[in-house]
Structure 1
Amino acid sequence: MKKSIATQRERLPELQLVRAFAIIGVLSVHSTSYAVSAMKESQYFFLYNFMNIFMKYGTPTFIFLSSLVLFYNYYSQPMTRQRIGGFYKKRLLYIIIPYTLFSIFYFGLLHFLYYPDRSLADTVESFFTKLVTGKAYTHLYFVFISIQFYVLFPLAWWLFKKVPQLTKWAIPIGLAIQWAFVFLNKYYWQVPNKGSWALTYIAYFMLGAFVGIYYPKLKAWLVVSRSNATPVRTVSWILLWLSWAACGLGHVYIYYTNRLYGTAYNSTLYELMWNAHTYLGAIVLLQLASIVYRTFKGGLTPALERLGAVSFGIYLIHPFFLLVYRKFPLSTGNSVLTHAWYAGGFLAALFCSWLVVELTVRYLPASWLVFGNVPKTEKSRRRQEQQGVPLSR
């Protein structure tokens, strides 16, 4: 009898915490998008700008994490037609079907609100165009990117198995491809909506592949603890975190001066600061998750684990609650209430979405059609892993 993937690999529960950090980042960016335009005269504009830019690690971290888990679970396994078929079946059921349903939902909502007089022919054409390009709503580009990487994954898996030496070069290969795309697009192609294409994030995918393949060897460095500390590792940890903080604050600064004073920067600088900030941040968040998991095991950790488990569902539904919330703006000159209203957008997006996902998963049969593969409880999640259900969506 063949052993399942899950029984052959160490469970990595801290990855759910990384998902939680990532969804908090996404919600922070989306909930402050209006504020950075409306609050330029406020003395707290720097804080809104900070939350809007520093927290942009969400999407890159999700891509990094998805790749890490895929290669961690699959790379050591033999490539068979059955295994590849099972991989695509799970993605169809738990990613593409929810993506399609939410594309219909958001497209219909926008049609009702803004295009009620559009002809049926134009409506159908517009919908299918948006469906196959990830544009039915602003946030669905991420799922569209993920689908592209799911198409790419078996090819990368086969190539790394065929030429194992390439795995050691995954990081420079990913950075080279991504930056080749950046420059070719800037000077020659000018691809519209380049953020909707996998090449924009290929470095994160390859970083995840490297960490996933070599995790057993990297674990002592990735898990920051006294037992793992050596002089060399400690210095490397400090340098990593300082570099991440510097790149993140530099990223925040160029947007702050551009938004407030109109300072112009070369577009490549924006690309570089975003890439450095979020690329280093993916590893920092992985290390932070291991620290939080050990330190707050009986308190904060279970809540963050659950938030990570439902993060895909929250990602899909949260723009709806932001849209509804923003239909009722405050008309007040009281700055305290104004700040509270913007903070309320984040809280509404988080907790309303979380509640809807939890209720759907708990009480709606075939809830996976809507929110993907979300276990009802921590116990059911562990049972899924024991049965060989991968940690990745």
Structure 2
Amino acid sequence: MKNNTMIKEVFLLRSIACLSIVLLHAIEIGIESIKYEIGSFTYLVFDSIHVFLYYGTPMFIFISELLIAYSYRKKNIPKDFLRKRFTFIFIPFLCMALFYSIPYASTFQDWVLKFFLNAFIGDFHGYFVLIIFQFYLLHLFFHHYLQRVKPRVIITISFLLNAGYLAFFNMTEPYNILYSEYIWERFYWIPFFGWIFYFSLGYYCGLYYERFISGLKKHKAAVTALPIVSSTFLLYVYHSELITVHSSKRIDMMLHTAAIGFFILYVTSYMKKIPNFLIFISQYSFGIYLLHFFYLLLFDAIYNIYPGFLGISYVFLLFFGSTTCSIITIYHLNNWKYGKYIVGKIGAGYKNKANTSYTVAYKQKPLQS
């Protein structure tokens, strides 16, 4: 894709989503190792930050569909659309599914089972890839239909479907059926019903991108206030134990993700330049997503053997260390001709321009809300 078809705001949004996921996991892993070194108040603060950051994974789904809808709104989807994504997204996913199954290889049967679970049921942090491939197919099959339907109708239906699906698993106990504990604990993450709202929202935001950004600017008071409201509500529901699920698959995460995403896009739309550091992170985001968890576990294993009593700074050392090591690994593997099939390609960059304004780039149909 040429640079003039890229959306500058998405580079910042993708990099923030990526770093949020790394920090989320750094808190999750690090806080367990230092919980006896910090006070209860500090633990409470970081536990709250942990819940707040769960918007990262659904944000990636929103971004993915927004970009596809934006990129192909005035041209046909190419025939090699799925092949390219299978080559540079799904094959690296399978490589990481294999890689993260190795610690379970005490017996050949255990290793094969774990690899199968990782690759086909998403039993590791890379499960996100299985979800976006479902949406690639939904986009291919339904995008012509979605263009003709009022956005308000589709977004409302998908929100209710998504909310009902998550509410069922958030608020009920496992049934007395085979593998129910696993289904309630993890497998319900994989079917697209738990993410369909982010897909439909991303689709229409991408299809009508210029008008979407104009709408954010028109309603700037609401866009600015919504993240405060959604964060307050999210933390209230969590700490009052109305919903105790520690996951991005919380029903209240739907509005929270939309609020955070809209706010970031709104702020970024006024920026003349995206910081080069964040463009860089965006380029490496897929590989960071795949690799960071390995380095977090590696550093934490070393720390538990040789504890340093670092306090809360340990979380930030995990965050910076895993991000940096992931980038170095991605860079060197991409210098090898087969490396991009293991950790994914380094993404396209973005050349900052002096001025970026949003005018209607093509003749759109009237927005039917």
TM superposition score category, shorter chain reference: 0.7 to 0.9
1:159-212 residue CA offsets vs partner (Å, 9 max, x unmatched): 224xx0244533212202212323455569874322233211111111100101
2:11 to 16, 20, 37: 16
Amino acid across the alignment from 1:251: L
Residues 73 and 207, structure 2, Cα contact 8 Å, conserved in 1: yes
In structure 1, how many angstroms separate the alpha carbons of the residues matched to 2:329 and 2:55? 25
Secondary structure of 2:74's counterpart equals: coil
In structure 2, how many angstroms separate the alpha carbons of the residues matched to 1:152 and 1:204? 13
In structure 2, how many angstroms separate the alpha carbons of the residues matched to 1:6 and 1:174? 32
**Match for residue 165 of structure 1?**
149
* Uncovered stretches (5+) of structure 2, i.e. residues with no partner: 352-369
Name the CA shift for 1:218/1:313 in 2 (closer, same or farther; >3 Å).
same
1:358 to 331, 355, 359: 331
In structure 1, how many angstroms separate the alpha carbons of the residues matched to 2:342 and 2:268? 28
2:289 aligned with 1:315? yes
Name the CA shift for 1:34/1:129 in 2 (closer, same or farther; >3 Å).
closer
In structure 2, how many angstroms separate the alpha carbons of the residues matched to 1:376 and 1:200? 30
Name the CA shift for 1:246/1:184 in 2 (closer, same or farther; >3 Å).
closer
1:328-373 residue CA offsets vs partner (Å, 9 max, x unmatched): 2267695xx2222222111111111122222323x22243212323
The structure richer in helix per residue is 1
TM-score between both structures, scaled by the size of structure 1: 0.76
Deviation at residue 246 of structure 1 after TM alignment: 1.9
In structure 1, how many angstroms separate the alpha carbons of the residues matched to 2:2 and 2:308? 56
In structure 1, how many angstroms separate the alpha carbons of the residues matched to 2:9 and 2:210? 15
1:367 to 309, 334, 339: 339
Question: Aligned pairs, how many?
Answer: 335
* Uncovered stretches (5+) of structure 1, i.e. residues with no partner: 225-232, 258-262, 380-393
How do 1:133-152 and structure 2 match up within 5 A? 133-135=121-123, 137=124, 139-152=125-138
Deviation at residue 311 of structure 1 after TM alignment: 0.3
Name the CA shift for 1:145/1:366 in 2 (closer, same or farther; >3 Å).
same
In structure 1, how many angstroms separate the alpha carbons of the residues matched to 2:301 and 2:245? 36
**Match for residue 164 of structure 2?**
180
Moved more, 122-131 or 96-105: 122-131
In structure 1, how many angstroms separate the alpha carbons of the residues matched to 2:308 and 2:209? 53
What RMSD in Å do the two structures reach over aligned CA positions? 2.9
Residues 168 and 210, structure 1, Cα contact 8 Å, conserved in 2: no
Name the CA shift for 1:123/1:357 in 2 (closer, same or farther; >3 Å).
closer
**Match for residue 142 of structure 2?**
156
Deviation at residue 378 of structure 1 after TM alignment: 5.6
**Match for residue 359 of structure 2?**
none
Identity %: 23
Secondary structure of 1:271's counterpart equals: coil
Deviation at residue 27 of structure 1 after TM alignment: 0.9
Residues 36 and 52, structure 1, Cα contact 8 Å, conserved in 2: no
2:316 to 336, 343, 346: 343
TM-score between both structures, scaled by the size of structure 2: 0.81
Moved more, 67-76 or 192-201: 192-201
Deviation at residue 122 of structure 1 after TM alignment: 4.4
Residues 173 and 206, structure 1, Cα contact 8 Å, conserved in 2: no
Residues 27 and 346, structure 1, Cα contact 8 Å, conserved in 2: yes
Amino acid across the alignment from 2:9: E
**Match for residue 265 of structure 1?**
242
In structure 1, how many angstroms separate the alpha carbons of the residues matched to 2:261 and 2:58? 8
How do 1:189-228 and structure 2 match up within 5 A? 191-192=183-184, 193=186, 194-222=188-216, 224=217
2:37 aligned with 1:64? no
Deviation at residue 290 of structure 1 after TM alignment: 2.7
